[in-house]
Copies of this chain bind each other. A is one copy, B any other.
Amino acid sequence: MSGRRARKAGDPETRQVILHAARRRFGDSGFAAATIRRIAADADVDPALVMHYFGSKADLFAAAMELSFSPGRVIASVLGSARREELGETIMRTLMGVWSDPDALAGWLGFLRSAASDEQAAAMLREFVAEVILKPVAGVIGGPDAERRVGLAASQIVGVGVTRYIIRLEPVASASPEDLVSTIGPTLQRYLTGVL
């Protein structure tokens, strides 16, 4: 906040300083209210440098939360490639791919565990999911009840994650990814585009 821009792109600590500032700012203000500009000021760097390192607020958040992948890019890739009538299965297959990466899974589970015991973390998760995941999917679904549809799909996705990886309830915990794609994919498809 000093006005000088002490840190440059070449400084090996700069990335860590930005991540540290981002973690504090997201924690204090939540995902929606935190801005790249403010985080850059906290870290004493130029906002362009934050974008240079992280590309977007969503990716900076993912990196700060150690999600180890870019939810925004994954969503964009699904929405860009899947046909409308295959969205349910494609989303489910993509999720199973993301969750099969131990680092990505650990990041999400840590985030979810925090949200379960801490309202500030719950608010961050809520705002992040709403803005980075639900909004673009709702944009593709379209129609007056798009958000309701995507919310229902989110409830099933959150549920299979919690049941499989946190409660570890059988036989969901040991089900093959393909089994979950074929059984839960149609649920997501109905929520997103079917008759409700």
**Interface residue ranges, A against B (CB under 8 Å):** 112-113, 115-117, 122, 125-126, 129-130, 134, 147-148, 151-152, 154-160, 162-164, 166-172, 175, 179, 182-184, 186-187, 190-191, 196
Contact = CB atoms under 8 A, between A and B. Distances in A.
Contact of A151 (B148, B155, B170): B170
A179 B122 CA distance: 24
B116 A156 contact: no
B159 A157 contact: yes
A63 to B, nearest CB: 21
Nearest to A196: B183
26 contacts: A113-B116, A113-B117, A116-B117, A122-B167, A122-B168, A126-B167, A126-B169, A129-B167, A129-B169, A130-B169, A148-B171, A148-B179, A148-B183, A151-B171, A151-B172, A152-B184, A155-B160, A155-B184, A156-B156, A158-B159, A158-B163, A158-B167, A159-B159, A159-B162, A162-B162, A183-B196
Contacts of A196: 182-183
Contacts of A115: 166-167
Contact of A160 (B112, B159, B166, B171): B159
A98 to B, nearest CB: 17
